[in-house]
Amino acid sequence: MTIPSDLDISRATELRPMDDIAGQLGIGEHLLEPYGRNVAKISLDAIDELSDRPRSRYVVVSAITPTPLGEGKTTTTVGLGQALNHIGKRSTVAVRQPSMGPTFGIKGGAAGGGYSQVVPMEALNLHLTGDMHAVTAAHNLLSAMVDNHLHKGNALGIDPHRITWRRVLDVNDRDLRNIVSGLGGKVDGGPRQTGFDITAASEVMAVLALSTSLADLRRRLGRIVVGYTPDGEPITAEQLKAAGAMAVIMRDALKPNLMQTTENTPVLVHAGPFGNIAHGNSSIVADLVGSRCTDYLITEAGFGADMGAERFFNIKCRTSGLQPDAAVLVATVRALKAHSGRYKVVAGKPLPPEMLEENPEDVFAGADNLRKQIDNIRLHGVSPVVAINAFPSDFTSEHEAIRQIAEAEGAHVAVSNHFTEGGKGGTELAEAVVAACEEPAGFQVLYPDEADLRTKIETIATKVYGAEAVSYAPAAAKSIDSYEANGYGDLPVCIAKTHLSLSSDPSLLGAPTGWTLPVREVRASVGAGFVYPICGDMRTMPGLGSHPQAESIDLDAEGNITGLM
Amino acid sequence: MTIPSDLDISRATELRPMDDIAGQLGIGEHLLEPYGRNVAKISLDAIDELSDRPRSRYVVVSAITPTPLGEGKTTTTVGLGQALNHIGKRSTVAVRQPSMGPTFGIKGGAAGGGYSQVVPMEALNLHLTGDMHAVTAAHNLLSAMVDNHLHKGNALGIDPHRITWRRVLDVNDRDLRNIVSGLGGKVDGGPRQTGFDITAASEVMAVLALSTSLADLRRRLGRIVVGYTPDGEPITAEQLKAAGAMAVIMRDALKPNLMQTTENTPVLVHAGPFGNIAHGNSSIVADLVGSRCTDYLITEAGFGADMGAERFFNIKCRTSGLQPDAAVLVATVRALKAHSGRYKVVAGKPLPPEMLEENPEDVFAGADNLRKQIDNIRLHGVSPVVAINAFPSDFTSEHEAIRQIAEAEGAHVAVSNHFTEGGKGGTELAEAVVAACEEPAGFQVLYPDEADLRTKIETIATKVYGAEAVSYAPAAAKSIDSYEANGYGDLPVCIAKTHLSLSSDPSLLGAPTGWTLPVREVRASVGAGFVYPICGDMRTMPGLGSHPQAESIDLDAEGNITGLM
């Protein structure tokens, strides 16, 4: 079976007017701000205006530990939303906004796929309503004000060697990772080692995702720490008098963006924080709006359940106060086979052909990872649903193997064909999710705010990752002590580690035990509201490949976009 | 008399729905793409669809050589548009989009002022529809692809020391003027001296402003030269396979933005190329649309008539084929007094108090500049209209002095009170413009395409600036020769010099004679389509002051923007 390309399916969609889509949410035109014909922003007044309505069922879509190819989490999120509508349950989908850098890099865009896409994909993957650009502008205004403060006499006494605030751009540009700025003459600032991250990695992006209101956004921006004095006193954006202007730049960006799926299910697209050094979830305000609109709100959490879902529970839900009813774990035959340790899957390359042969034994051999991720959902008192994201190359025996593993753990389970069939193909999954949501809810965060930072890290490491212990490099231990002295000890933690293993070593598949989580360094996003221990090398500015996707993207003679993936 | 602040006047405006504003242009809803409630983009299909309609009268607003405070050119442009509507002539205004960098710097925004503003000023001065951000993204994608090309083996053989393509950001950040990028390890690129310009100075911005269609934009982007081989062969964006992706990023940005004035006159806001190293005019596509809509299309050209208007005639009109019918020269009492050489006016400081005393003799003493700028309009076969932009501190005797000078030159002349009274205050100016447009038109460019580059430079220097001769630094002469060898000799020239004097020395007021224009360096914007000789120090990345406007900008308790100027 061949299905058309994502771009062709996207183009063939009959888009409904945004008024109709908003109508499905019960959101009136007075709350809608159109951006072009197929995207609209929703006024934040909606949060108050809808507050009398009953809450939607709140479902997060996560995954088992993925292969480098990804297991179709966005596609499943979109497909599940469509499938719920298909079985007569009104639903809304909430996803992150893709970053433009990777769209022109190797990865291509991120809009779901097949018959489960957010459309129009060109709008989603390019500027959308400019929120990413607003993050870039707000972030870099603060950067300029930091250096300007030094240039104009440094009244706050910032130590130039302890400035942590870098600059950002939404482009894959390895040459900007490490730069020396301020060269030239006396009027051109002062030389200083610094660099650029990709916009998604900006703390301003994490602030956008975690703010609960415009006033809250303003406060969080003010709390951003840009560096320290020689005595270790933090210097904030508020002290630099930059936070007001940053909030003004971000004012419209805080309004969630409304789009639709290939089957006209409403989709809220909002914020795209990096999954490595930030929590990687879509915005709280989108969920505050979306959770009052339809029977179900389906949202996505980046990476595997040990990362995205853990942070969804312990950072996002802790901040928003919203309580999830069920969590979907996307599992694929290929990922379970990969966890058997018998194959090597490499990003950007085809699967080894022997991996495509019928082999349920390999699936059983990779079961530990699925079991552990089911357990990670249960740890938070949430009902797990295993979604088998079906590929044309799968065999029924292999799907049955996943079903057996999941059922033995007491999880709901369903095969889903949303990629090839749209919502209709996800009927079984939708019904499993409905059943899971009917179970008594007992959501709980994993640790209290007042636990100290080491306890928080060790709780996640041992309970969620399956580590035996945590080790701290001297610099990491020092940072933790100073953060607690500075009053940041009450913040939740967002552990930056590889997403390709439950452990911090990407080569350890399945569910490794007996290992130690090495905390190399600890940083704080005080404005966004989390501390992030770094375990491994975290790249915050991607590069381009030998043949970046950009080389294939162009306009045709009619001005249509070609080559966007 | 006190009038409310610009922000208060802007807020008090009763905005009409964008459909109504488009209706004034005779543009149907099918050509309109809303961006929020108060801004819309106009589809480029309008150019074809409107091509049967009669052409509007086409009027450019320029100025005498300004003081560092500016003489109210945008305000007069907006006021004239309103005034024409006031006397029953349907009119449309076309202006540049302000840059966000200066909005947060010392300058504040640029939306006109008083009762002659483009509204809402918050939308105009912040992201608008994201066109500036698109320029930033397209420009920096090319930058990343240049460095990636070096990193991946440099198949095109670019000389790393002859890369002319820098990076851009729309922020005033002096520390980015000169950087070393590509530090770190082998995977982080290679060290190279480079830097950032402000987005308005990007050649992509000039391409946006000078393109006549989407296909033309695509071609111009492909022609952009990023650097040279060791043998001096130019390397283009087309060769790097970047131009298609850049065009995709710029596709929506090429659609002109529709807004309105404080009196609901339609305004096209589109493109904002730097006035120093680019031609500093709003876009051609906006004028192609706007020139088929109403009786009059009023557009603005940056700086004095020697710079903005000269480039409007010889670069913009040459490219678009549109023929101007009249040119307004904004003159103020303070600028003429300044040209007397008896006062010192400094940006950001109040005028010397003695300059505010009644003194028509000072005005007469500064007359040479006005006379020469009137002559500069006539050189191009266009009717000049002197607009006396009235200030509350002016005296009637001083206005009369300007009137006598202008009338002696045979120019139309009018006092205009559009700042304090809106369109009604510009009635006399509107009537003068109508009269000027009735005169037989004889527009001509100053030099033919096929003249060589030195001839073009010398023609402008001697005929427009009043120079006696032109001198070329050795590097400049060498560049000219190599550009002509490369086939760029047919391009028009855009001379980068101070805007504070007719000469290249900002301290020489009035109409200096007997001086030599020193061409220090010559660069080419091959994609945009001009060669730019540099005469003096041209700063392409501003810095922030001791107390940037950003420090005063914030949100109030209701989420409204405060402190934006």
Residues 391-450 of B with CB under 8 A from A: none
A137 membership: H or E segment, kind and range: helix A131-151
CB-based contact, A219 to chain B, within 8 Å: no
Q: Which amino acid is at B335?
A: A
Check B187 against A543: CB less than 8 A apart: yes
What is the C-alpha separation between B332 and B390, in angstroms, rounded? 7
- Work out the minimum CA distance from B317 to partner chain A, whole angstroms: 25
Q: Any binding-site annotation on A69? A: yes
Q: Any binding-site annotation on A72? A: yes
- The beta-carbon neighbor of B550 closest among A152, A172, A242 is A242
pLDDT, tens only, A423-470: 999 999 999 999 999 998 799 999 999 999 999 999 999 999 999 999
Phi then psi dihedrals of residue A300, to 5 deg:
-115, 145
DSSP lists the bridge partners of residue A236 as A225
Mean pLDDT of A57-64: 98
Q: Are B403 and B395 in contact (CB under 8 A)?
A: no
Q: What is the pLDDT of residue B6?
A: 85
What is the C-alpha separation between B353 and B358, in angstroms, rounded? 11
Q: Are B257 and B290 in contact (CB under 8 A)?
A: no
Using the predicted structure, report yes or no on whether residue A408 has a pLDDT greater than 80.
Answer: yes
Check A179 against B180: CB less than 8 A apart: yes
Tokens of A10: 């996207």
Q: Which of A98-112, A219-233, B186-200 has the lowest mean pLDDT?
A: A98-112
Whole-number average pLDDT of chain A: 95
pLDDT, tens only, A167-184: 999 999 999 999 999 999
Q: Any binding-site annotation on B266? A: no
Confidence of residue A88 (pLDDT cuts 50, 70, 90): very high
What is the C-alpha separation between B520 and B537, in angstroms, rounded? 9
Q: Any binding-site annotation on A44? A: no
pLDDT, tens only, B32-65: 999 999 999 999 999 999 999 999 999 999 999 9
DSSP states of A245-295: HHHHHHTGGGSPEEEEETT--EEEE-----TTTS--B--HHHHHHHTTTSS
Rg over alpha carbons for chain A, rounded to the nearest Å, is 23
- The beta-carbon neighbor of B143 closest among A34, A173, A248 is A173
Pick from A313, A289, A286, A318: which is nearest to A301 by CA? A313
- The beta-carbon neighbor of B127 closest among A133, A174, A555 is A133
What is the C-alpha separation between B526 and B204, in angstroms, rounded? 11
List of residues 6+ apart from A564 with CB closer than 8 A: A7, A103, A108, A109, A121, A122, A125, A549, A553, B248
A125 membership: H or E segment, kind and range: helix A121-125
Confidence of residue A109 (pLDDT cuts 50, 70, 90): low
Q: Which amino acid is at B141?
A: L
Q: What is the pLDDT of residue A95?
A: 97
Confidence of residue A191 (pLDDT cuts 50, 70, 90): very high
**pTM for the predicted model, two decimal places:** 0.97
Residues on chain A touching B175 (C-beta within 8 angstroms): 144, 147, 151, 181-182, 188-190, 192
- The beta-carbon neighbor of B144 closest among A140, A183, A544 is A544
Pick from A351, A310, A343: which is nearest to A329 by CA? A310
What is the C-alpha separation between B396 and B393, in angstroms, rounded? 10
Q: What is the pLDDT of residue B458?
A: 98
Written in H, E and C, the secondary structure of A51-75 is CCCCCCEEEEEEECCCCCCCCCHHH
CB-based contact, B160 to chain A, within 8 Å: no
Confidence of residue A2 (pLDDT cuts 50, 70, 90): confident
DSSP lists the bridge partners of residue B42 as B32
Distances (CA, A) of B435 to A551, A558, B402: 54, 43, 19
CB-based contact, B564 to chain A, within 8 Å: yes
Mean pLDDT of B435-461: 96
pLDDT, tens only, B58-113: 999 999 999 988 899 999 999 999 999 999 999 999 999 999 998 998 765 678 89
Residues on chain A touching B120 (C-beta within 8 angstroms): none
Sign, Cα dihedral of B390, B396, B398, B404: positive
Closest chain A residue to the Cα of B539, Cα to Cα: A188
Domains of chain B: 6-124+255-438 (3.40.50.300), 131-252 (3.30.1510.10), 453-534 (3.10.410.10)
What is the C-alpha separation between A112 and A259, in angstroms, rounded? 13
Q: Are B483 and B521 in contact (CB under 8 A)?
A: no
- The beta-carbon neighbor of B130 closest among A104, A133, A553 is A133
Q: What is the pLDDT of residue A11?
A: 87
pLDDT, tens only, A488-523: 999 999 999 999 999 999 999 999 999 999 999 999
What is the C-alpha separation between B95 and B107, in angstroms, rounded? 18
β-strand B469-472 against B412-416: which pairing, if any? unpaired
DSSP lists the bridge partners of residue B469 as B516
- Work out the minimum CA distance from B99 to partner chain A, whole angstroms: 12
Rg over alpha carbons for chain B, rounded to the nearest Å, is 23
CB-based contact, B244 to chain A, within 8 Å: yes
Q: What is the pLDDT of residue A377?
A: 97
Q: What is the pLDDT of residue A1?
A: 58
Using the predicted structure, report yes or no on whether residue A108 has a pLDDT greater than 60.
Answer: no
Using the predicted structure, report yes or no on whether residue B347 has a pLDDT greater than 90.
Answer: no
Q: Are A326 and A292 in contact (CB under 8 A)?
A: no
- Work out the minimum CA distance from A492 to partner chain B, whole angstroms: 28
Q: Are A316 and A62 in contact (CB under 8 A)?
A: no
What is the C-alpha separation between B63 and A279, in angstroms, rounded? 54
- The beta-carbon neighbor of B183 closest among A136, A179, A559 is A179
CB-based contact, B171 to chain A, within 8 Å: yes
Q: Any binding-site annotation on B69? A: yes
Pick from B311, B300, B250: which is nearest to B456 by CA? B311
Q: Are B297 and B222 in contact (CB under 8 A)?
A: no
- Work out the minimum CA distance from A51 to partner chain B, whole angstroms: 19
Residues on chain A touching B550 (C-beta within 8 angstroms): 141, 145, 241-242, 244-245
Residues on chain B touching A552 (C-beta within 8 angstroms): 244
> 3-state DSSP call for residue B112?
strand
Q: Which of A260-269, A289-298, B4-13, B77-86 has the lowest mean pLDDT?
A: B4-13
Q: What is the pLDDT of residue B65?
A: 97
User: First vs last Cα of chain B: how many Å apart?
Assistant: 20
Using the predicted structure, report yes or no on whether residue A565 has a pLDDT greater than 80.
Answer: no
List of residues 6+ apart from A444 with CB closer than 8 A: A380, A381
Closest chain B residue to the Cα of A549, Cα to Cα: B245
Whether the link from the prior residue into A448 is cis, omega within 30° of 0, is: no
Check B555 against A251: CB less than 8 A apart: yes
Using the predicted structure, report yes or no on whether residue B449 has a pLDDT greater than 60.
Answer: yes
CB-based contact, B554 to chain A, within 8 Å: yes
